[in-house]
Amino acid sequence: MDSLGEKKLDSKKGEYKRIVLVVDDEDVNRQMLGAILESDYEVIYAEDGQDAINQIKAHRETLSLVLLDLLMPELDGYEVLKWMKEGKTINRIPVIVLTSEKSAEVKSLQMGAADFLAKPYDLPEVILARVRHSIELSEDANIIKATENDHLTGLYTREFFFQYGKIFDHHHPELAMDAIVLNFNRFHLINELYGRAFGDTVLVAIADGIRGILEESSGIACRYDADTFYLYTIHMSDYDRLLRKILKVLSGVLKAPEMRIRLGIYPDIYRAASLEERFDRALQACNSLRNKYSGSFAVYDMDMHEREVYSARLLEDFEQALEEKQFKVLYQPKYNITGDRPRLCSAEALISWQHPKFGRVRPDAFIPLFEENGLIQKLDRYVWREAAEQMRKWRINHDIIIPISVNVSRVDIYDPEMPEFLDKIVRENEVNPRDYLLEITESAYTDNSRQIVQVVKDLREAGFRVEMDDFGSGYSSLNMLTALPIDALKLDMAFIKDISVDNKEMRMVELVLEIADFLQVPVVAEGVEVQEQYELLKKAGCDIIQGYYFSRPIPPEEFGRLIIKEKKGE
């Protein structure tokens, strides 16, 4: 087995030799042991205790074993053992003590010796076997130690953390324990602003704070991944104090606004769940604080548990809901307001779920859930197909083409089969791609603008029109806008909510309208609810309006009645 330290190369055998230090004040004993060991090891010597310490210092990183005589003049073997133990050298370099006094065995082992050889010495085969065994045990321990601790923080790695946590539970079943997840929110910004080396300094500071907590409350901790730490401690009542302790340590390296620590806690008094499940719940509590910029903590409670069960049920029922068409596609009309009267010009396809047990499930309850669990692509394709089929039905029933816009998730954009799927459904339903509008959020453009811009260009070349959805909620620069392939800007409803004459929200809307005019694309304002908003937007030059002012999202049959009214000019 290879040592963690350096070994000498035996040129005759072509093998690495481990280095063994023989410490004895009698030359004959040194020579005897050297003769036994030299065929398998590189042997160095020391004549007394001080000489031994000097040799250990000189070969600290290369020594594999020390054979140490206990009885020597001036500085004896006990003093060497004590020095090695205090300096923690003995933790890596095993020591076999040599003495003719059997009574010294217990004391030397208590001081950290790995084994004991009595004088007169045993057969050479026995000595070699004991030396080999001690070195192998030490190297195994060092290998384990090297893998059980995170190289940066010194805390446990996740694998050893859970292993030791389960051992702790086994030996202390009576203790109430807390599973705690600590995360530095948006840690990547620290690396981007100050560099990775400074980011490492922050992580080490967090680890130091955690060690301080563990000194007060028995337990263990690990660095779970880049900026997330797990703590398993005896149940505590003051989590705010725990948070303050971490922030205090961080204050030595960061300014207060930069310290974005969040804690998720699962206090499992009765050990009702497995260790992994307890930390899953603590992580859920931690994630409930996502994107909060100040330090805070959340305790997993029954409300979170009910939400977890609810979410699990929604995920479990997803496939059946698709098969049974429990998902209903509703259509919210859009009105062109540039003329004398508003005219129905298109609609947005929106999803609703009529669950057999829970009744109507709001989109904001299941869409983020499906995005997190990789199901949103299936749901999107369901909506896309339903919308294309509905366009065909309206054309047949009402002899009119109503353009429909559908939402495109980020995961869809990275799907190489998306253009082919869209092309297939519009051809099957004899829909002109120009009337099938694709809404892509502004923030999606900034994720990987080069790739997304290329995808959007390909879709537009195939005939589809693309709207930038939620404009104003992301981080597009004006310079970036000039390069983006878009056919319309859709104002984020947050802009519309508070507009009034000459206030800053209204001025922002007017600015966007000027940008759109420069780009020669229309602006769609969604979330319009009252007469005042409508009139302000019309006066400012907005092209299209969508919102409860005209209509909520409605079923296809009800939308059909709007089409009939529009054809009659009502």
CATH code of 50's domain: 3.40.50.2300
Domain boundary among 103, 118, 147: 147
Answer whether residue 176 is part of any domain. Answer: yes
Range of the domain at 249: 158-300
Residue 189 sits in the same domain as residue 114: no
More confident residue, 450 or 163: 163
- Rounded to the nearest 5°, which phi and psi values hold at 45? -130, 155
pLDDT value at 270 more than 80: no
Q: What is the pLDDT of residues 128-187, one digit of tens each?
A: 999 999 998 888 887 777 778 888 999 999 988 998 898 888 888 888 899 999 999 878
Q: Which has the higher per-residue pLDDT, 95 or 238? A: 95
pLDDT of residue 171: 82
Rounded average pLDDT over 330-359: 95
Rounded distance, CA 116 to CA 108, Å? Answer: 8
Only one residue has tokens 């929110």, namely: 185
Cα 67 to Cα 108: distance, rounded to the nearest angstrom: 13
Are 117 and 242 found together in one domain? no
Task: Answer whether residue 312 is part of any domain.
Answer: no
Q: Tell me the CATH number at 260.
A: 3.30.70.270
Domain count, the chain: 3
Of the pLDDT bands very low, low, confident and very high (cuts 50, 70, 90), residue 421 is very high
For residue 395, what is the domain's CATH number? 3.20.20.450
Q: Are residues 389 and 285 in the same domain?
A: no
Provide mean pLDDT across the span 399-417: 91
pLDDT for position 519 = 86
Q: Which of 103-107, 304-308, 360-364, 440-444 has the highest mean pLDDT?
A: 360-364
On whether residue 305 sits in a domain, the answer given is no
User: Bridge partners of 545?
Assistant: 335, 525
Give the 3-state secondary structure percentages of the chain, helix then strand then coil, rounded to 5: 50, 20, 30
Shared domain check, 508 and 383? yes
Residues 108 and 251 occupy one common structural domain = no
Q: Assess whether 222 and 330 both reside in one domain.
A: no
Domain end among 247, 265, 300: 300
DSSP 331: E
pLDDT, mean of residues 439-453 = 72
Is 314 within a domain? no
Whether residue 371 is predicted with pLDDT greater than 80 in this model: the reply is: yes
Chain position carrying tokens 């004040």: 25
Query: Are 343 and 466 in a shared domain?
Result: yes
Residues 121 and 205 in one domain: no
Which DSSP symbol is given to 570? -
Last residue of a domain, one of 92, 113, 147: 147
Which range among 377-386, 447-456, 546-555 shows the weakest confidence by mean pLDDT? Answer: 447-456
Give me the percent of the chain exceeding a pLDDT of 90: 52
Q: Give mean pLDDT, residues 85-93.
A: 81
Residue listed under structure tokens 């005759």: 12
Decide if pLDDT at 484 tops 50: yes
CA angle at residue 488 from 490 to 461, to 5 degrees? 135
* Residue 248 within a domain: yes
Q: Residue 179 in contact with residue 282, Cβ under 8 Å? A: yes
Residue 257 in any domain: the answer is yes
Same domain, 138 and 170: no
Tokens 């006990």, located at residue? 78
Average pLDDT of the chain, as a whole number: 87
- Stretch 415-433: mean pLDDT: 95
CA–CA dist 413, 330 (Å, integer): 23
The secondary structure of 274-290 as a DSSP string is -HHHHHHHHHHHHHTTT
Nearest partner of 89 among 61, 115, 69, judged by Cα: 61
Neighbours of 337 (CB within 10 A): 22
d(Cα 327, Cα 321) in Å, to the nearest integer? Answer: 7
Q: How far apart are the first and last CA of the chain?
A: 89
User: Is 378 among the domain residues?
Assistant: yes
Asked whether residue 316 is domain-assigned, the answer is no
480: confidence class by pLDDT, cuts 50, 70, 90: low
pLDDT of 475 above 80: no
| Average pLDDT, integer, range 489-509 | 86
- Mean pLDDT of the region 493-498: 82
The three-state secondary structure class of 200 is helix
pLDDT tens digits for 291-333?
Answer: 555 558 889 887 887 888 888 899 999 999 999 999 999 999 9
Q: Are both 359 and 495 inside the same structural domain?
A: yes
Identify whether residues 556 and 419 lie together within a single domain. Answer: yes
Lowest-pLDDT range of 212-226, 316-330, 345-359? 212-226
Q: How far apart are CA 449 and CA 431, in angstroms?
A: 29
Question: Do both 245 and 394 map to the same domain?
Answer: no
Alpha carbon 169 to its chain's center: 27
Question: What kind and span of H or E run contains 474?
Answer: none
Q: What length does the chain have? A: 570
